[in-house]
């Protein structure tokens, strides 16, 4: 099975394992590099957002990709005639990655968490040793 999205500057092809973004216009190539097609493994996508197009404004599908410990975003703009295709692709990606923490993406503020525990320490609810242990644990958390 292959899903297609005819973007304004790109063509998006999605199958069970990957997404291939093909740059269509010279401007898109210049803005995104002359590297040609971009292949994204579906398993590396951690979030997908979609904004439907109207007849006046283009819509977009935004993919958040995690690779080599970094998160990057890739955005493909499309016309209103492609709204259904974009929704199908977003739904397909979500279902394919359903076993991962997808929309339940963790928002974690280490400094905020440490400040909460510091208040507990100051209120003498936890001991200095407990605070230090929690601080070490929090500083090691990667999101």
pLDDT at 71 over 80: yes
C-alpha radius of gyration, the chain, whole number: 21
pLDDT at 81 over 60: yes
What is the model's pTM?
0.61
Instruction: Give the per-residue pLDDT at 108.
Output: 56
Q: Which residues are registered as beta bridge partners of 74?
A: 63
139: tokens are: 């500083």
> pLDDT tens digits for 9-48?
888 999 888 999 888 755 544 555 555 688 888 888 888 9
Residues 12 and 21: beta-carbon distance below 8 Å? yes
74: tokens are: 């890739």
124 three-state secondary structure:
coil
Instruction: Give the per-residue pLDDT at 109.
Output: 67
């Amino acid at each position: 099975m292959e899903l297609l999205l005819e973007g304004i500057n790109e063509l998006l092809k999605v199958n069970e394992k990957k997404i291939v973004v093909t740059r269509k216009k010279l401007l898109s190539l210049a803005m995104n590099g002359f590297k040609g097609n971009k292949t994204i493994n579906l398993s590396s996508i951690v979030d997908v957002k979609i904004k439907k197009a109207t007849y006046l404004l283009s819509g977009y599908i935004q993919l958040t990709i995690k690779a080599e410990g970094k998160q990057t975003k890739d955005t493909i703009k499309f016309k209103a005639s492609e709204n259904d295709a974009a929704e199908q692709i977003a739904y397909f990606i979500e279902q394919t990655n359903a076993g991962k923490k997808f929309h339940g993406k963790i928002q974690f503020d280490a400094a905020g968490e440490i400040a909460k525990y510091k208040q507990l320490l100051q209120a003498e609810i936890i001991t200095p040793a407990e605070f230090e242990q929690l601080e070490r644990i929090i500083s090691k958390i990667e999101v």
